[in-house]
Structure 1
Amino acid sequence: MGTVTMSNPNVLDHLNNPSPRTLGRSPLEWLERLQKPTVVHVAGCDRSRTRAMATLLHGNEPSGLFALHRWLQEQHTPEVNMLFLLGGVYPAKIPPAFSFRQLPEGLDLNRCFKEPFQSEEGAIAEAMLAELHKAQPECLLDVHNTSGTGPAFAVTITNDAEHQALTSLYTDRLITTDLRLGALMEYSEQEVPTVTIECGGAQDDQAHHLAYEGLVRYTSRADVLSLEKAEWDVAVLRNPIRVELAPEATIEYRLEPSGQADLTFPPDIEHRNFGIVSPDEPLGWVGKKGLSILTAISHNRTGNLEQVLRVRGGQIYPAQAIKAFMITTNPVIAKSDCLFYAVKATGEPIF
């Protein structure tokens, strides 16, 4: 039977080589048993090396937890030691489970991996970084679900062979960005190859399956950092811009604008994810305030929205052919995080 220890009783719990009966029969039962953000240690065949994986940093993104629960239940012995970090246990446990990205009055944990670590989420992030520093992993994955439905992709701040090899365990799409938001993937700056994996929608069985299959590949291979052993050729999209909605602006998802909202997107806008949108294809509608409710932010914090979007007859069109992703139909996320990211149709930065 696995043992439970606590290095810092105020922040993280620890599980060492947990047995199936300590995990509950389902991921939901396991979540109910978790009392705090939790670190899971699993000993590998090669005890000299460690790989790390974080997941559930957002409480409404369960694919990584589902995959980990299944993998632990099946009692795999990994090739190297594994360190698993479950960050967003508190929001995930709020009924109905896996509904809240973060605590109602809390911060986005995946924006807190930077000083000053003052909030409750900052304390969790700091404790997770301390675990990584102690373990010295050879690489780190952060497994998420996308905010809306859509194909899987990966995000890094570094584009090299090691990051592409890690990406290829899960997907053939890699987005690289120089934008810094305080996300865990910025751990790459510690010279530890770090990749965020976006598995697809939180309600999508295919996303849960991908999270599991990728985890099996990540834990069972002697070498996950060599591009020669990559699953797929990886297409790289560079430095997307973030299109953000003003905090006071309103958004609706409707087939026709009601006239009450500053911005209206069609309910199936998610189908645009990773597709190319030409300048003659409308994305949605703006109200009386026009595009003033939107901001485009690039990796160097400059922005020129006119290079991204334009308005004709009250409808929004791309100013040039773009490839958009992370489009969501969740108005809370659209306002608190961003509306979408975009690059040129070629995958190059817009500016």
Structure 2
Amino acid sequence: MDVVAVSTSNLLDYLHDPSPRTLGRSALEWLDRLRKPTVVHVAGRDRSRTRAMATLLHGNEPSGLLALHRWLLEQHTPEVNMLFLLGGVYPAKIPPALSHRQLPYGLDLNRCFRQPFKGEEGAIARALLAELQRVKPECLLDVHNTSGTGPAFAVTITSDAAHQALASLFTNRLVMTDLRLGALMEYSEQEVPTVTIECGGSQEEQAHQLAYEGLVRYTSRADVLSQEKAEWDVNVLRNPIRVELAPEATIEYRLAPTGQADLTFPPDIERRNFGVVSPDEPLGWVGEKGLSILTAIGHNRAETMEQILRVKDGQIYPAQALKAFMITTNPVIAKSDCLFYAVKATGEPIF
């Protein structure tokens, strides 16, 4: 029997062991029925333990929602209790559904999981953290789509055996970062193994399937924290540099620069994701302002750009062989979030 309750803070809705009747026939129908950020509890065979999974923290990243809806419709009984957190319901519901990362003029929810918990997004983040603290899960996943096309990977602030085992449920690529941005992934600092899963592009069917298959593994196994039982050997990329575009800078995606933008990338720049780019391969073009429109962030501080990029005859080249990822052709995300992350070709930190 479905149990639906509204939290005393009036910020969250709750579903307990939802039936197919509650869920609707499709994920979009379910999303249409959701009124608020929602917490879903599913009872497991072992009632003494709980695992948690967040998804839809960004309203335009559907793979986790699609996987969860499919899994709930199939009425699986998980090995342990499951806690599911659907955070970005409000932006996801803006027509057309699943097209808005965050509310217009709102904050990025996945940058609000730390003090001072600003605005409505901060209040939602704090409420979701309170649910985690109340339930005390043995581990936590945060399922996303990448901002561009490209292979799946995981991100964590710790790369020990437990985190690698969790990542391996979905992918063999794990990015370990010291950057702190206020993401839910930083819940790992509470000594709860926490991993972000980037399933691939939001429009890619293989990303949706990967999210579902990983969810099945996560919920059906008695042990998901032992590296001996990991799905794949994990390749760890350590402490990438985050390259950001200045707020006032302009960017275009064209085969050749028009002279109207500060930065121009080719339309197929996403093919560079997780590939090695040598120092003689151009990445794009800069205008008169050169590389001054870019900032490199490492270990939460600004770093010199000289070891990352160089300019020759208006074209941008890697200063050394690099492996880049999270490259996007969405200019909004390129400006509001970041252009890309990069490590050395070996996977080691640039600095």
Deviation sequence 1:52-88 (CA, Å, 0-9, x none): 0000000000000000000000000000000000000
Q: 1:191 maps to what in 2?
A: 191
The residue identity in structure 1 corresponding to 2:133 is H
In 1, Cα distance between equivalents of 2:99 and 2:316: 31
**Partner of residue 48, structure 1:** 48
Cα deviation, residue 336, structure 1: 0.3
TM-score (norm 1): 0.99
What secondary structure, in the 3-state scheme, does the structure 1 residue paired with 2:110 have?
A: helix
Who is 1:58 aligned against? 58
Once the two structures are superposed, residues 123-172 of structure 1 have per-residue CA deviations (whole angstroms, 9 ceiling, x without a partner) of: 00000000000000000000000000000000000010000000000000
Partner of 1:258: 258
Task: After superposing the two structures, state which structure 1 stretch, 292-301 or 20-29, moved more.
Answer: 292-301
Q: How does 1:202-241 map to 2 (within 5 A)?
A: 202-241=202-241
TM-score under structure 2 normalisation?
0.99
Match of 1:87 in 2: 87
Q: Counterpart amino acid of 1:329?
A: T
1:8, distance to aligned residue in structure 2 (A): 2.9
Instruction: Please tell me the residue identity of whatever aligns with 1:124.
Output: I
Could you say which residue in structure 2 is the equivalent of 1:106?
106
Structure 1: which 5+ runs fail to align?
Answer: none
Q: Which amino acid aligns with 2:67?
A: A
CA–CA distance in 2 between the matches of 1:32 and 1:216? 25
2:345 is aligned with 1:345: yes
> What are the superposed Cα offsets for residues 5-45 of structure 1, whole Å, 9 maximum, x if unpaired?
12235210000000001001000000000000000000000
**CA shift digits 1:66-113 (9 cap, x unpaired):** 000000000000000000000000000000001000001100000000
Write out per-residue CA displacement over residues 283-334 of structure 1, whole angstroms, 9 at most, x where no aligned residue. 0000111101001010141301010000001000000000000000000000
One-letter amino acid matched to 1:309? L
Question: SS of the counterpart of 1:305?
Answer: coil
Alpha-carbon separation, structure 2, partners of 1:8 and 1:98: 28
> Aligned with 2:212: secondary structure?
helix
Q: Would the aligned equivalents of 2:91 and 2:98 in 1 still touch at CA under 8 Å?
A: yes
Q: Report the equivalent of 1:324.
A: 324
Structure 2 residue aligned with 1:145: 145
Counterpart code for 1:157: I
| Counterpart amino acid of residue 307 in structure 1 | Q
Who is 1:71 aligned against? Answer: 71
- Cα distance in 2 between the residues matched to 1:73 and 1:333: 33
Q: Aligned partner of 2:19: which letter?
A: S
What CA distance in whole angstroms lies between the structure 2 residues aligned with 1:106 and 1:164? 33
Of all paired residues, the percent bearing the same amino acid is 84
CA deviation vs aligned residue, 1:212-245 (integer Å, no higher than 9, x gap): 0000000000000000000100000000000000
Stretches of structure 2 that go unaligned for 5 or more consecutive residues are: none
Moved more, 297-306 or 307-316: 297-306
Give the partner amino acid of 2:350: I
Report the number of matched residues: 351
Q: Distance in 1 between matches of 2:34 and 2:217?
A: 26
1:122 equivalent to 2:146? Answer no
Matched, 1:161 2:161: yes
Q: CA RMSD, aligned part only?
A: 0.6
Give the aligned partner of residue 304 of structure 1: 304
Residue 295 of structure 2 corresponds to residue 295 of structure 1: yes
Q: 1:117 & 1:259 partners in 2: Cα distance?
A: 41
> How far apart, CA to CA, are the structure 1 residues paired with 2:145 and 2:299?
23
Provide the C-alpha distance between the structure 1 equivalents of 2:194 and 2:9, rounded to a whole number of angstroms: 27
Name the SS of the counterpart of 1:297 in structure 2.
Answer: strand
Q: CA deviation at 1:282?
A: 0.3
Q: Distance in 1 between matches of 2:222 and 2:176?
A: 26
Question: Are the counterparts in 1 of residues 236 and 347 from structure 2 also a CA contact under 8 Å?
Answer: yes
SS of 2:306's equivalent in the other structure is helix
In the other structure, the counterpart of 1:38 is: 38
- How far apart, CA to CA, are the structure 2 residues paired with 1:283 and 1:192? 39
Letter of the aligned partner of 1:94 in structure 2?
I
Please give the secondary structure, in 2, of the residue aligned with 1:8.
Answer: coil
Partner SS state of residue 150, structure 1: coil
Task: Quote the residue 1:283 is aligned against.
Answer: 283
* Residue aligning to 1:179: 179
CA contact (8 A) 2:180 2:300 kept: no
